Amino acid sequence: MFYGWKPYVSVATRRKNAERTLAKLRKKGETPSGVVINGRSIANTFWGKAWCDNLERYSDYENRLPRGRTYVRNGSVVDLRITPGNVTALVSGSSLYTVKAKISPVPKSRWSAIRNDCAGAIDSLVELLQGRFSKGVMERICREGAGLFPTPKEITFTCSCPDWAAMCKHIAAVLYGIGARLDHSPEVLFVLRQVDHNDLIVAAGQDVTLGKTGPANSKRLDDTGLAEIFGLELAVPATVSERSAKKRTTKKSAVSAAAKKVGHKKPAVRKSSAKRRKLSTAGKAPKTSRRPRRNSSLAREKNT
């Protein structure tokens, strides 16, 4: 052992130790939530990538981050819990180490500025959590020192390992583990920074939402003013009695129409044959009998 350091433990051994630790936690009734990385990419979504990019932009962390990436990829972060402003984790190394990180909430003035700058640009909560918004919104949320992601001054952490460095590989692994967790639960970032992600959606609708109060009476146009401006003849509102009479008429019409539909017809009246003949000949001119005209010459011969 050199300067008190424990001997190197292989990845396979660390994984076995992690599995034994998880089994012990489950026996105690706890449900550990480890970080599982599939492939080489720690994060694949907007929120996860943005978190990891934010870590790597600061020179304070650049020396320790590579070892942290290795640890989180091989499954050394066996338990990761995120609550408002706090992160607790168990990391498997030469032993099982406890990591605690405290992250300051977003200052109210900064959060208000983010809300105002993003107003009207985020249409729904689904788009927000899936990171489907414009490039301008992405830049505003990820802005260094003024966005949603914490700066090194806003993060304090401790680890139970004997490493004297400000950030050990176990802490770095946990910070990368947060980025991997955001791939599946992006709302965790807002919980960690102690802000409500619904505020961005509310702010997005403020420009288009109609006010609850109407215009002042002095700014309202009456019916006469509308008729003069648009050249319209506006109908006078019906009184209560007129509306009631209209309802009764409509109801009677509906009842009669229903009766006709089901076949309620008046019985036909049979008329007598004499009356039918009278009606059939009514209005016609009477027939006159015409005798054939006699030949005058034949008549004279008979007389003689």
CB neighbour list of residue 166: distance below 8 Å, 6 or more residues apart: 60
SS3 156: strand
d(Cα 85, Cα 191) in Å, to the nearest integer?
8
Strand positions, DSSP E, 12-128: 77-83, 86-92, 96-103
DSSP 158-218: EESSS--SSS-HHHHHHHHHHHHHHHH-THHHHHHTT--THHHHHHHHTTTSPPSS---GG
Running DSSP on this structure, what letter comes out for residue 91?
E
Is the pLDDT at 36 greater than 80, yes or no?
A: yes
User: Comparing 106-120, 124-138, 258-272, which segment has the lowest mean pLDDT?
Assistant: 258-272
What is the predicted pLDDT for the residue at 178? 97
pLDDT the model gives residue 252: 64
Give the whole-angstrom CA distance, residue 176 versus residue 249: 76
CB atoms within 10 A of CB 33: 14
- Radius of gyration (Cα) for the chain, nearest Å? 47
Taking only the tens place, the pLDDT of each residue in 44-73 is: 999 999 999 999 998 777 788 998 999 999
- pLDDT on residue 175: 96
20 Cβ contact partners less than 8 Å away, ≥ 6 residues apart: none
Q: Are 5 and 51 in contact (CB under 8 A)?
A: no
198: which residues sit within 8 A by CB, 6+ positions away?
A: 125
Q: How confident is the model at residue 17 (pLDDT cuts 50, 70, 90)?
A: confident
Element housing 52 (H / E): helix 46-56
In whole angstroms, give the CA distance from residue 178 to residue 51: 8
Looking at the whole model, is its pTM more than 0.75?
no
The reported pLDDT for the residue numbered 173 is: 95
Query: Quick one: tokens of 203?
Result: 């702010």
Q: Is the pLDDT of residue 291 over 70?
A: no
The region of weakest confidence among 110-114, 183-187, 197-201, 286-290 is 286-290
Looking only at the bridges linking them, the beta strands covering 86-92 and 155-159 are unpaired
Q: Which single residue is written with the structure tokens 């702010």?
A: 203
Give me the residues paired with residue 81 across strands: 88
CB atoms within 10 A of CB 156: 11
DSSP string, 25-39: HHHTT---------S
CA distance linking residue 150 with residue 106, whole number of Å: 8
